[in-house]
Structure 1
């Protein structure tokens, strides 16, 4: 029976996808809040280029730890407990950062926040992929990226409006994160466990009950059979299994895409907006305004990506984004190098954001959630996302140092070259995945 002949409970699936994706909102919050807070933190803690990079990147180090914890929890106890723990960590770390009295305590709390971000960045897309029918899976996983960018936009707006409250405005910027954390925790309590994990854990009746909530009897039977086949011969998982020859092609593609999503350089624009616009003479108000503009453009083009990811497909979007970013970065580097007005720089910064938002940002998460076999999905997703956050740390840690040595424009020439190499890799190695079940993909991707 074709996927199109099966009927689904679309409202329910969308509902639980959005609740799970609230973890993405918190991811967006912790990711974006640093951009508005950095001008205050430089003064508060007397940051040099090294410490500015380390303070910003400490989130990524926590993310790596979070992914390691999440992978183990996801495979041993289920996706839902991991989401609950992430929500609690988000809430406590937001308060911890807000009340930090020293740089060392701030970095420790930022690292703790990263644990929650890392867990959410791995578990939310995985959970959504596992409860979504094949023909809408790309759109549903992209909901997670939508909530990420909503989190970024709302955070940037809040930062903009409370920036005038005094030198301790940064404490409010971070502390307000406790509100969406509690909303997320309450929402997760309502979520069902992933049917794929339930079946893997031997809880067949519970898996059937969840599948009945998701779709028709034919959908339940077809999905149940496909999952059972994919789990035949599964043994206790170790991370060694991720690098077995039979699954290596999918793992290599997943890790490379995860690293490329960061080394493409766009998160420098998100995290160091103030630094970039300060280099062309923009004042603090204009710097914070640009973070809001970036958030708006990011949101609009993420919605476009959600509309197209299951129509145009994953690979075409990734090709457009990687090549487009390469060209835009070359122009942006030239403008920064020659001190063009902030308005002109803003046009190409926003163009770069739009390229990223319609392609590499959401589609990388979609592909990571899709391409790994059922029996290693938790561990393989963990390895890929750990690689992503390791690359993010390197990116944001090195930018202030490179900008100090080369000028703010210098790193963008490097990112342009990386984006072109990414275009070549995607063209040669990435297979289209739209419209196929996770179990069908398991067979086709491993064969390649």
Structure 2
């Protein structure tokens, strides 16, 4: 069903306004995801964390998101998209305030998990809501507003961290607590948006209320055509979708596409980059201040190329963007692998004088004049001279004093990777999964796919600190490069184009195939 462009354009500003308000959940999601990168050192020292405790404190947000994913679809189906998002906003507000005030590790984790539940709801329900109110010709761009707000949130978090890092006292508390302000704004503004007209018809049979909303979006003709399309879909459904339905051969193509894209969006390492950006740049020999500045550049790159994706997604299409993006991601990750593989670790008077821990400095004094061409060889030599706790201190805080690396190449590689993700797997995944699920299984299917996406993300963020310390950045980035190449093959083989089609047309196409 193609809508007349003149009809759609007549009220486009109203649709955009609704989409921007709902997509503020994406801002909170992005802010919450990235703000922890600046607090890593502070919380590690305050809560006396081990590597695995640190990994869990960062990744537990994703752990909470998995719970949010499982609940979000069924709750949104039962109580509505709008009401679910209002609860999500409240969870963000509570999490930000509590995590900033936490005095114990367990308390801190609980607060972070509450925020994760909010993330799990926002990341699934906001795109569904926007897809359900948007005319087909605008749907890709409007759904991408959610991803745009995610990257704006990431960028703002990096700026916020940079300006708060030197605040007197425990700066990490201010970094985490400031999120409560936009969360409260989101909570208030959501009360002004209408309920999803598709949900009103499918769940409550409130056709006249839905008609008023649709008429305000695209005019009377658009409202009538859309209601007829929705009712045809309703007439096809006999009962509410169940978990067993998504495992049937009828929906096999849909689930392969959804689960595959959800897997590759996270397994290629994007959240490791966002959560640990300053840590990565410090691994490349940068100072704390410069690494935070470079993290800001990463956030701005993400923002600019997400805008490019929004401009292209309804022009070029979903599949071409995915192929271009994953190819460039693979190249970027290979560049980072090469840069770290070419690094050396030199012990001389200058580098040894940079060591802040005097016990470590004394124990390594006899290595002056030595040079190592791999992290593995370095660790072997250093571990022989340090107690276990001091060796951990060396890996976390002192190794960056000795590395000699082409830091510019690392920065270029990371920026290319982030730009490539921002035009492909970032926005396109959420657009696709908001389009391809039939109404019958949308609630349960979106929750399963979201849970799976969060599970992969949690695994990546949990393991990343251990990978950097034990496998080294060379092997870590090489693994991500291989997985990114697999993503190219998957997109080429399985992903279909949904550009310009109504949700009902997409459903018929995928189920028929």
Q: TM-score range by the shorter chain?
A: over 0.9
Cα deviations by residue, 1:358-395 (Å, 9 ceiling, x for unpaired): 11101111101111111221221111111110010011
Give ranges in structure 2 of 5+ residues lacking alignment. 344-404
Measured in 2, the distance between the counterparts of 1:362 and 1:389 equals 16
Aligned-partner Cα distance in 1 for 2:325–2:100: 36
**Contact 2:328/2:416 (8 A) holds in 1:** no
Aligned positions of 1:4-83 closer than 5 A: 4=4, 7-8=7-8, 9-83=11-85
Point out where structure 1 has 5 or more consecutive residues left out of the alignment: none
Among candidates 320, 333, 336, match of residue 332 of structure 1: 336
Q: Does the CA contact (< 8 Å) of 1:6 and 1:216 recur in 2?
A: no
1:162 to 161, 164, 167: 164
CA-to-aligned-CA distance 1:143-181 (integer Å, 9 cap, x gap): 111111111111110110010014511101111111101
Q: CA–CA distance in 2 between the matches of 1:128 and 1:18?
A: 9
1:380 and 2:448 matched: no
Matched, 1:352 2:417: yes
Contact 2:70/2:450 (CA < 8 Å) preserved in 1? no
- State whether residues 2 and 136 of structure 2, in contact with CA within 8 Å, keep that contact through their aligned partners in structure 1: no
CA distance in 2, matches of 1:366, 1:85: 23
Aligned equivalent of 2:266, options 256, 262, 268 = 262
CA distance in 2, matches of 1:335, 1:161: 30
- Contact kept, 8 Å, 2:65 with 2:454, in 1: the verdict is yes
RMSD: 1.3
Aligned length: 448
Question: Which has the higher mean CA deviation after the structures are superposed, 379-388 or 120-129?
Answer: 379-388
Say which of 303, 306, 320 aligns to 1:316: 320
Q: Report 1:5-404 matches (<5 A).
A: 7-8=7-8, 9-201=11-203, 202-232=205-235, 233-339=237-343, 340-404=405-469
CA distance in structure 2 between the aligned counterparts of 1:165 and 1:336, rounded to whole angstroms: 33
Q: What secondary structure is seen at the aligned counterpart in 2 of 1:165? A: coil
Residue 108 of structure 2 aligns to a residue whose secondary structure is: helix
2:500 equivalent to 1:435: yes
Question: Higher Cα Rg: structure 1 or 2?
Answer: 2
Contact 1:65–1:115 (CA<8 Å) still a contact in 2?
yes
Segments of 4+ moved more than 3 angstroms: none
Which piece of structure 1 moves more, 136-145 or 335-344? 335-344
Measure, in 2, the Cα distance between the counterparts of 1:56 and 1:199.
Answer: 41
Taking the aligned partners of 1:356 and 1:146, their CA distance within structure 2 comes to: 12
Which digits, 9 at most, give the CA deviation of each residue in 1:172-205, with x for residues without a partner? 1111111101111111101111111111112222
190-199 or 271-280: which moved more? 271-280
1:64-114, CA deviations, whole angstroms, 9 ceiling, x for partnerless residues? 111122112111111011000000000011011000101111111111110
